[in-house]
Structure 1
Amino acid sequence: MAEPGVDTGALHLLDVSPSIAGRPLFAPLSLTVAPGSVAAVMGPSGSGKSSLLSLIAGLLDPALTAGGDVRIGDRSLLGLPPEARGVGLLFQDDLLFPHLSVRDNLLFGVPAGQSMAERLEQVREALEEAELSGFEARDPATLSGGQRTRVALMRTLLSRPRALLLDEPFSRLDHALRDRIRRFVFDHATRRSLPVLLVTHDPDDAAAAGGNRVDLVPA
């Protein structure tokens, strides 16, 4: 079930392709990701997978230009600043702030305009949901890889995104842990009815996405 107050809708990629000096990185890509479902975009290193996510999130390198359109529901994201797009990103590196505790890392994701008591309650609930109760004061450096990924995910979800983008966030986890953390991420996004777009070169990631897979085609 979607969280109250969160605007959800399908993620639509319409003939999307970033270009450099007028040369597309890959053939135009069209794809619809329904709320609560996961789609995997496959491609080798250097094929433009990360640039695709950057285009969606509004973080495209200035040397590149955006082609096509990106929509959540009936609203185009192109032209909006990153903070107005409502897109959450989970990277290969968890990007936790090393100088902040787990609690303060999570507080960073909670939207402003609420009392500190309300914000702390959301952090407490997020840690409980991630099976990390009692970790509030922990230094991120003391966490395992799987724990760091769970904290990074909960920080992203606390920001109440309308779609979730995954840039190979499982690739650095031990193989034995990868399946469990992948399922944790997918389950929590699905529970919130978020469309999830995963870019990867790992066939196991694509299989876990439920068979909803497209391959980037060189331009």
Structure 2
Amino acid sequence: MSGEAIRFEGATRRLDGFEAVFDLSVAAGTWLGIIGPSGAGKSTLLDMAAGFSDLDAGRVAMFGADMAGIAPADRPLAMVFQENNLFPGLDAFRNAALGLTPRLRLSAAERAEVADMLERVGLADKAGRRPHELSGGERGRVALARAFLSRRPILALDEPFAALGPALRAEMLALLADLRVSGSGEGTPRTILMVTHHPEDAVAHADRIAFVENGRVALEGPAHTLLSQRNDARLDRYLGPGRGET
């Protein structure tokens, strides 16, 4: 799959005195890191894409199709939240299997596919454990497994590894980088929109960066160039001394 994965055209959301208006285009196969101050509208951007936030004006299109009126479950996008949103009464296997089907009556081939994905994320021996029996990193792995099993070409991640320490966060990002390529099932890697408060993560993995401020995409460009040149006062204020450079 090639071309444009997602486009925001004057996509507007007004809530409690805050107005977000986004114009942004993301090519298929791009890993876009989304950074910016708290309250800038980063999560709103993802919610617009996923269909969790109704637009007051403008449009969101995916692979050329207008998403107006399209329910979240019917969009070509899977969402991974910071809290992972696992069902506490289901074990890791069944939580992951929801990416394939909500009915949880799996064929032998589907069970094998879920088992293979859990093995790929390092949880083959934890398939029978419920979320409260898993560590934060393991719950994140289940959420990633579920998202990739959905086979949707766009993944939106809202600070999914924010609660993890640096070493485990780096491990999870490396896993995400591997899965987006090896698990795409076609020539083009999955498109990723990832909100993060760690610019160094974006430098290490993202192709491009969108800097969001005051409900707008203030800057967008190649990750290393944008974060190394530091020639914009707004970005400088956000990053602070020495942040984001490699």
TM-score by length of 1: 0.84
Residue 11 in 1 paired to residue 9 in 2?
A: no
| Number of the residue aligned with 1:98 | 88
1:39 touches 1:209 (CA, 8 Å); kept in 2? no
**2:135 aligned partner, one-letter code:** S
1:197 pairs, out of 179, 193, 209, with 193
Q: Deviations over 1:81-131 (max 9, x none)?
A: 111112100111111111111111122221369852122111111111112
| Number of the residue aligned with 1:161 | 152
| Number of the residue aligned with 1:48 | 41
Superposition deviation, residue 159 in structure 1: 1.4
| Number of the residue aligned with 2:203 | 207
| Number of the residue aligned with 1:31 | 25
| Number of the residue aligned with 1:182 | 173
Mean Cα deviation higher: 50-59 or 141-150: 141-150
Q: Distance in 1 between matches of 2:83 and 2:63?
A: 29
Kindly indicate whether structure 1 or structure 2 has the higher relative contact order, using CA contacts under 8 Å at least 6 residues apart: 1
The structure where strand makes up a greater share of residues is 2
Instruction: Name the CA shift for 1:110/1:9 in 2 (closer, same or farther; >3 Å).
Output: farther
1:20 pairs, out of 5, 14, 30, with 14
Mean Cα deviation higher: 114-123 or 23-32: 23-32
Mean Cα deviation higher: 121-130 or 17-26: 17-26
| Number of the residue aligned with 2:61 | 71
Query: 1:148 is paired with a residue of what secondary structure?
Result: helix
2:37 touches 2:213 (CA, 8 Å); kept in 1? no
The aligned runs of 1:115-194 (5 Å cut-off) are 115-191=106-182, 192=184, 193-194=189-190
Query: 1:216 is paired with a residue of what secondary structure?
Result: strand
Instruction: Name the CA shift for 1:24/1:206 in 2 (closer, same or farther; >3 Å).
Output: same
Superposition deviation, residue 216 in structure 1: 1.5
Mean Cα deviation higher: 113-122 or 75-84: 113-122
1:92 touches 1:167 (CA, 8 Å); kept in 2? yes
Larger of the two Rg values belongs to structure: 2
| Percent identical residues | 31
- Root-mean-square deviation over aligned CA pairs: 2.4
Ranges in structure 1 where 5+ consecutive residues have no aligned partner: 1-6
**1:97 aligned partner, one-letter code:** F
Superposition deviation, residue 29 in structure 1: 2.5
Query: 1:25 is paired with a residue of what secondary structure?
Result: strand
Ranges in structure 2 where 5+ consecutive residues have no aligned partner: 217-246
Query: 1:39 is paired with a residue of what secondary structure?
Result: strand
**1:48 aligned partner, one-letter code:** G
**2:86 aligned partner, one-letter code:** L
1:10 touches 1:195 (CA, 8 Å); kept in 2? no
Query: 1:154 is paired with a residue of what secondary structure?
Result: helix
1:145 touches 1:173 (CA, 8 Å); kept in 2? yes
